[in-house]
Amino acid sequence: MEGNARFQLEMLKSDSITTCLSPPVYDMVCRLGFEVKENHDISNIISQHGEVYWKTIAECVCYTDSEGQNVDYVKSVSLLGPVCEAVHTHIYSLTKAQFEVQYALWFQWTNFPELFPEIFVALKSLQPTAIPLSLMKLTSCLERALGDVFLLIGKECPFLLRDLLVSKELAEVFGPSVMNILRVFIGSPCGLNLRNILWHGFASPQEIPPKYCSMLVLLTAGLGQLLKSYLQQSNFTFIHRPFLSFTDLKELIIFPDINDEVLSIVEELIKKSTFVLKIMIPFWEAVIMKFRSHRYADCIVLLLTQLETGLRKIFTTVNKCPKRLLTAESTAFYTTFDEILAKQLSNDEINNLPLFLGEPAMEFLWDFLNHQEGPRVRDRLSHGEINLNDFPKELTNQLLAFSVVLLVRFVGEDVLSVSEENASIRTLISCVNCYCSQFHPVSQLKKKILYCEKSIRIWPQLPLVPVEQIQEAARLEGSSETKDCYHLILKISSELQHYMPQGDCDLNNLLDNPPTAKWSLLLQELCSKRIQTLYCPRSVLEVLAIFQKISAHCHLVSDQIIATTEIRFKQWTQKTLRSRQRQNYLRMLNSIKLLSPVLQLILLLITLELVNIHTVNEKNTCEYQQYLKFLKSILQYAENLVTYSNQERNKWDESINITHLVLVKILTFSEKKQMLIHLTRESPDKLFYDSSS
């Protein structure tokens, strides 16, 4: 992570920036709502019992057409400004107890009512970050609750808030004029767009007028009132979707815990690192404060916005597009994580950020933010899918530790040398430099392969054939089709032998039944090979998807066989099996002696193909389609085997039949040299990617 003097100079130029809001957006958010000087009587907006008079607010929304279809956002924001001021003055005048008595009931529909007393306190706080943080949490909570309302009528909730707010379903519940009011504040890039400019890190701490936060609090209460009326009329039952939770946190932990020593260093770094815009320093200071006070959800919400801001700063510098540091206009997309982390820019030019940051750092960002199998932290937080009260410290720690490394990277040589003298900082840097993706399809496939291998390894430990039936079982083993299968396994393994890494890897022994310890070690060795994961072509992802399905079905077969064997043996010993069931049980024991090496062979085959996955791009269209057809035939076999090995089906003779057919297909395809292992231009001992590359 050596500094680059020219790059640092370019980064320093952005330190003079006083706002990340483009002029039209700045005018909309910071000025327009203050131009009309008019006093509104709060009694015309809210009753003494806290009932919202929507008609008064709706009269301030203007339209560009006589039908009232298209909102005039400029005029609407201007006229709503004094209304927001009156609402803010009213809420500010209340005590916390008065606020809760008057409004608490109407926040219950959000499924997060405890948030609103916190926001009330924030409205009176002197901390510059209190209002932005409150608005981010409020908009995510509101979006989730509105989605729950949508599902009273609709079937599939829109992913984007702007699509949700223009849905006919919400208009039916709340009324079109109410939805237009919400769109002025949070639902359109033409309006205030508070949700997006905050969650994407464009607004600095004091740019969002507190009166807009107060107004959204009141609108949320008013929506609760309208919803109650609708539910009474419709007799619908309002049900909240359960919050999502982060699972397998152990897979996410690569950094050690951030300690006070590191936090103290960070407090100095945020003042000196060019990764941080000076106008955003209060956000970074709040990040440290929230982490120290164990407010991990607050910490991560603030941190994610600043991580995006800092990366956008680097993105605009390395790609020489400084204007994109600002919010885009309503006719263009904002520069957000989606484009910052993409391979190409919107004009199809190469994005220089991945090359500048390096693959390990990019893989970390993709893992935590983008991959479908990953935690997708920002998406889930901003869309209200996560219970903020239970946000895990472990996840916050990981993203904060990664951010510390970015801060260190963008400091001067003198500060860098001092920082790297600290052992904890050196450890964090090392963790980033060595990072490998955990949630890319390649990584997910490796895990599936090893899980399946572990399951098959249990087979030899299953209950043995009862002694008195050994002779009968041996007789059943002698079918010609079974013998043909063993012969095919030997031929295929002999073919694959040429593509194994150097060492003692005799596949004739590795595919013995029961499997030897070397078999397990071989798969672990192959799965430890580093494979490029960043920006895989579509063809690679298609093949990986089939591999994942094959390994998942093989694993299911193994689990079914384990469960059925244990149940049948218990029934045998208890003498509760009928004669036909006993014969079927013996056929199963005979079949699984064959299925064990077959499943091992399939796992080995897809692992070898995985290691050479990028050579699939060397196939022409016809060859590629033939390859997919071959893989799908293996997948079809695995799917059929799941059906036949199900405890309710027990079609073991049929299992032998389809096994013979698939082995013939594998051998034929292998002999034609059409697999990926045959495309390598390296000698067999150099077939694999160097894990240190």
Which has the minimum average pLDDT: 79-83, 131-135, 255-259, 417-421?
417-421
With left for phi above 0 and alpha for psi between -120 and 50, is residue 50 left, alpha or beta?
left
How far, CA to CA in Å, does 263 sit from each of 270, 286, 396, 403?
A: 11, 12, 13, 12
Quick one: the chain helix, strand, coil %, rounded to 5? 65, 0, 30
The b/e string for 58-90 (b: 16+ C-beta within 10 A; e otherwise) is eebbbeeeeeeeebbbbbbbbbbbbbbbbbbeb
Which tens digit of pLDDT belongs to each residue from 646-690? 888 878 889 999 999 999 999 999 999 999 998 875 434 444 433
Determine the residue type at 151: L
Residue 457 domain flag: no
DSSP state of 348: S
Together in a domain, 143 and 187: yes
Residue 692 pLDDT > 90 = no
Q: How many CA atoms lie within 13 A of 673 on its CB side?
A: 4
Query: How would you class 210 by CB atoms within 10 Å of its CB: exposed for 0-12, middle for 13-18, buried for 19 or more?
Result: buried
Residue 4 pLDDT > 80 = no
Instruction: Indicate the pLDDT class of residue 477, thresholds 50, 70 and 90.
Output: low
Q: Which two tokens stand for residue 95?
A: 């005590």
What is the spatial distance between Cα 552 and Cα 591, in angstroms, rounded to a whole number?
20
Residue 556 pLDDT > 90 = yes
Indicate the helix (H) or strand (E) that contains 372: none
Which tens digit of pLDDT belongs to each residue from 584-609? 888 888 888 889 999 999 999 999 99
Whether the link from the prior residue into 441 is cis, omega within 30° of 0, is no
The SS3 of residue 344 is: strand
Together in a domain, 479 and 580: yes
Together in a domain, 185 and 264: no
- Residue 639 contacts residue 531 (beta carbons within 8 Å): no
Range of the domain at 145: 35-234
Together in a domain, 224 and 254: no
- Predicted pLDDT at 465: 63
What is the spatial distance between Cα 503 and Cα 260, in angstroms, rounded to a whole number?
48
Together in a domain, 158 and 298: no
Whether the link from the prior residue into 514 is cis, omega within 30° of 0, is yes
- Predicted pLDDT at 685: 42
- Predicted pLDDT at 686: 40
Q: What DSSP string describes 196-248?
A: HHHHTT-S-TT-S-HHHHHHHHHHHHHHHHHHHHHHHHH-PPP-PPPPB----
Which tens digit of pLDDT belongs to each residue from 372-430? 989 999 999 999 999 999 999 999 999 999 999 999 999 887 777 777 788 999 999 99
Which residue among 204, 234, 264 closes a domain? 234
Residue 280 pLDDT > 50 = yes
Give the pLDDT mean for 479-484: 84
Which residue among 433, 463, 489 closes a domain? 433
Percent of the chain with pLDDT over 90: 71
Give the pLDDT mean for 264-273: 94
Instruction: Indicate the pLDDT class of residue 472, thresholds 50, 70 and 90.
Output: low
Who contacts 355 (Cβ-Cβ below 8 Å, separation ≥6)? none
Torsions phi, psi for 410 (to 5 deg): -110, 50
The SS3 of residue 252 is: helix
**How many CB atoms sit inside 10 A of residue 422's CB?**
14
Residue 344 domain flag: yes
- Residue 117 contacts residue 134 (beta carbons within 8 Å): no
Together in a domain, 407 and 500: no
Residue 3 domain flag: no
- Predicted pLDDT at 693: 33
How far, CA to CA in Å, does 549 sit from each of 75, 395, 543, 552, 636?
A: 55, 29, 10, 5, 10
Number of H helices, E strands in the chain: 32, 2
- Predicted pLDDT at 1: 40
What is the spatial distance between Cα 419 and Cα 87, in angstroms, rounded to a whole number?
48
- Predicted pLDDT at 418: 72
- Predicted pLDDT at 478: 56
Instruction: Indicate the pLDDT class of residue 352, thresholds 50, 70 and 90.
Output: very high
What is the spatial distance between Cα 471 and Cα 222, in angstroms, rounded to a whole number?
79
Mean pLDDT of the chain: 89
Which tens digit of pLDDT belongs to each residue from 92-135? 999 999 999 999 999 999 999 999 999 999 999 989 999 999 99
Which residue among 406, 433, 460 closes a domain? 433
Q: How many distinct structural domains can be found in the chain? A: 3
Together in a domain, 167 and 52: yes
Together in a domain, 60 and 173: yes
Residue 17 domain flag: no
What is the spatial distance between Cα 220 and Cα 58, in angstroms, rounded to a whole number?
15
The SS3 of residue 62 is: strand
Residue 128 domain flag: yes
Instruction: Indicate the pLDDT class of residue 331, thresholds 50, 70 and 90.
Output: low
Determine the residue type at 499: Y
Residue 440 domain flag: no
Together in a domain, 429 and 572: no
Who contacts 538 (Cβ-Cβ below 8 Å, separation ≥6)? none
Instruction: Indicate the pLDDT class of residue 468, thresholds 50, 70 and 90.
Output: low
Residue 340 domain flag: yes
Give the pLDDT mean for 323-348: 84
Q: Which residue has the higher pLDDT, 220 or 574?
A: 220
Which has the minimum average pLDDT: 318-327, 408-417, 503-512?
503-512
- Predicted pLDDT at 509: 66
Which tens digit of pLDDT belongs to each residue from 181-194? 999 999 899 999 99
- Predicted pLDDT at 302: 98
Torsions phi, psi for 21 (to 5 deg): -90, 125
Q: Bridge partners of 344?
A: 350
Q: Which residue has the higher pLDDT, 621 or 65?
A: 621
- Predicted pLDDT at 57: 97
Q: Which two tokens stand for residue 650?
A: 């027990």
Together in a domain, 566 and 646: yes
- Predicted pLDDT at 368: 95
Q: Which residue has the higher pLDDT, 442 or 69?
A: 442
Q: Which residue has the higher pLDDT, 509 or 12?
A: 509
Q: Please calculate the CA angle 152-389-110 and round it to the nearest 5 degrees.
A: 25
Distance of CA 460 to the CA centre of its chain: 38
The span from the first CA to the last CA of the chain, in angstroms, equals 17
- Residue 283 contacts residue 305 (beta carbons within 8 Å): yes
Residue 554 pLDDT > 90 = yes
Together in a domain, 285 and 164: no
**How many CB atoms sit inside 10 A of residue 538's CB?**
8
Torsions phi, psi for 71 (to 5 deg): -75, 135
Torsions phi, psi for 344 (to 5 deg): -125, 160
Residue 581 pLDDT > 60 = yes
Instruction: Indicate the pLDDT class of residue 309, thresholds 50, 70 and 90.
Output: very high
Who contacts 39 (Cβ-Cβ below 8 Å, separation ≥6)? 82, 86
Residue 244 domain flag: no
Which tens digit of pLDDT belongs to each residue from 129-141? 999 999 999 999 9
- Residue 76 contacts residue 194 (beta carbons within 8 Å): no
Together in a domain, 288 and 377: yes
